[in-house]
Amino acid sequence: MATPGFAAHLLDEEGGVRWIEALTDEDPHHLVHVVRGLEPAEALVALGAKEKLIRVWELSEDGPGEGTLLAGRVGEWTFVYDNQAATWDEDSTTALSADGRTAATSMYSINADVSLTYAVDGKVVSWVNRDDLDLEADLPGMPAELRSAFEAAGNVEQEDFEPGEADFDICMRAICALAGLYCTIDDIRRLPLLVTPIG
């Protein structure tokens, strides 16, 4: 599988981002936050983590374990992976984007609710719900860098979907494209990583 922005080895047969899927289980209920210009430890604190519980982490084959936030940085962007979607609310994204920063959150629930929140300087600028997403009609109205991210994400035709209907992994691909997270799980393992319990 490949899309305009992703090489085939980065995605599975249905368009899922392989490094994200390597961190979850068979029934994902998870999210990815990204923020530009904030260090991983600062991002974790902004999401409610206790600073004294944040620790350096070496990612094993088993992942960071349930009920954790995993953070790292690629270029200008920090990512936080939440394997229980416990930090999914508008306040999380706006907190990350405070003080002039840009942040986004892509969520995939156990009920296959899929969305992406994009915030700048403490305010939500765009909220994308996969169920309502009309790529042809909606992309032109998105902020430029978000539009570019969805263009790179592309769309993967699914059996039993209407022609042009957005696939379930489009928001995860878009958030990775936004933050330049064109990674394999081995690339993630080589990064300096932090982990902390949720809450």
Contact 105, 117 (CB under 8 A): yes
Does 62 score more than 80 pLDDT? no
Q: Where are the beta strands (DSSP E) in the chain?
A: 30-36, 55-57, 68-74, 77-82, 102-108, 114-120, 123-129, 193-197
Contact assessment for residue 122 and residue 140, using Cβ atoms and an 8 Å cutoff: no
List pLDDT tens digits, range 136-177: 999 999 999 999 999 999 998 877 777 778 999 999 999 999
Cα distance from N-terminal residue to C-terminal residue, the chain: 37
pLDDT at 69 over 70: yes
pLDDT of 199 reads 67
Q: Average pLDDT in the 70-92 region?
A: 95
Give the position of tokens 């939500």: 124
pLDDT at 163: 77
User: What is this structure's pTM?
Assistant: 0.95
Q: How many separate helices (H) and strands (E) can be counted in the chain?
A: 7, 8
Q: Which of 83, 77, 50, 52 is nearest to 65 (CA)?
A: 83
User: How confident is the model at residue 78, as a pLDDT?
Assistant: 98
Per-residue confidence (pLDDT) for residue 159, from 0 to 100: 76
Question: To 10 degrees, the CA torsion angle through 22, 60, 187, 100?
Answer: 80
**What are the pLDDT digits (tens) for 97-148?**
999 999 999 999 999 899 999 999 999 999 999 999 999 999 999 999 999 9
Whether 90 has a pLDDT exceeding 90, the answer reads: no
DSSP label at 1?
-
* pLDDT, position 187: 96
* Strand-by-strand arrangement of the 30-36 sheet: 55-57, 193-197, 68-74, 77-82, 30-36, 102-108, 114-120, 123-129
- Given pLDDT bands bounded at 50, 70 and 90, which one contains residue 61? confident
* R_g over Cα of the chain: 16
Q: What is the pLDDT of residues 14-39, one digit of tens each?
A: 999 999 999 987 789 999 999 999 99
79 CB contacts (<8 Å, ≥6 apart)? 32, 33, 34, 71, 72, 73, 179, 181
Q: What angle do CA 145, 148, 151 make, to 5 degrees?
A: 155
pLDDT at residue 41, as a whole number: 98
pLDDT for 158: 76
pLDDT in the model for residue 143: 97
Q: How far apart are CA 81 and CA 195, in angstroms?
A: 9
The predicted pLDDT at position 1 comes to 67
